[in-house]
Amino acid sequence: ILNVEQSPQSLHVQEGDSTNFTCSFPSSNFYALHWYRWETAKSPEALFVMTLNGDEKKKGRISATLNTKEGYSYLYIKGSQPEDSATYLCASLSGTYKYIFGTGTRLKVLA
Amino acid sequence: GAVVSQHPSRVICKSGTSVKIECRSLDFQATTMFWYRQFPKKSLMLMATSNEGSKATYEQGVEKDKFLINHASLTLSTLTVTSAHPEDSSFYICSARAGTGGSYEQYFGPGTRLTVT
């Protein structure tokens, strides 16, 4: 059974602070790593799809890195804003082509 | 683009009744749709994978007679929880994928909160 772990489970940051959180996944039989942003009562929104070791992706103030050899990905948010408040999910896709999700990191940005 | 709707967003039903949840891809054809379930403070757990026009593939431990999945068209899949019991109360969410290959990106609906009384 594959396990995807995310940490921390939740965090509160002040507006303007930068923050980061971690997604750990089994490195064997790795295919892709997805990051999603999920606001309450809305659909999870795809942020990044990462496949290659060393990948770095950026979308505005949000960026992500990938290490497939050691099985982790970091998501960074620079200059957090209240609208960044959401749950950030990662999902690992292996050779079975099924997603295994982490439990998410709940971010609250305080104005 | 790539919008998936899910209906209803919230439903309360009595024990023993059946509930149908619809998942629609609004602006693309979904060859594959997935149904997930999420318990409080737990991760999304895949229940089944459905391909248009064929029988769904259920994950281990998911009762196919309990959770009926139909994927009759390229834009619609339904999940019917039959003879619902309080332990079926959960958050159900679907996703849809346009095709195979590439990054296997999937697009999610907003989910359905089911409460069985």
Q: pLDDT, tens digit, for every residue of A57-101?
A: 999 999 999 999 999 999 999 999 999 999 999 999 987 778 899
Confidence band, pLDDT 50/70/90 cuts, at residue A2: low
Interface residue A36 vs chain B (CB under 8 A)? yes
pLDDT band at A1 (very low <50, low <70, confident <90, very high): very low
Asked if the Cβ–Cβ distance from B104 to A93 is below 8 Å, we say: yes
For residues A3 and A100, give the distance between their C-alpha atoms in angstroms, rounded to a whole number. 7
Asked if residue B103 has pLDDT above 80, the reply is no
Q: Name every residue whose Cβ is closer than 8 Å to that of residue B78 and which is 6 or more positions away in sequence.
A: B20, B21, B22, B23, B68, B69, B70, B71
Residue of A nearest to B42 (CA): A103
In angstroms, the separation between the Cα of residue A39 and the nearest Cα of chain B is 9
The overall average pLDDT reported for chain A is: 93
| Cα A23 from Cα A35, distance rounded (Å) | 9
Average of per-residue pLDDT values in chain B: 92
* pLDDT, position B85: 96
> Rounded to whole angstroms, how far apart are CA atoms A109 and A63?
17
Work out the number of other CB atoms within 10 angstroms of the CB of residue A12.
12
Cβ pair A34:B4 closer than 8 A: no
pLDDT at res. A97: 74
AA identity, residue B71: H
Written as six digits, the tokens of A77 are 């948010």
What number is the average pLDDT over the span A14-20?
A: 97
Confidence of residue B99 (pLDDT cuts 50, 70, 90): low
Q: What is the pLDDT of residue A107?
A: 97
The whole-angstrom distance between B96's CA and the closest CA on chain A is 12
Nearest CA distance, A19 vs chain B (angstrom): 22
**Residue A18 above 60 pLDDT?**
yes
- For residue A40, give the nearest of A90, A111, A110, A108 by alpha carbon: A108
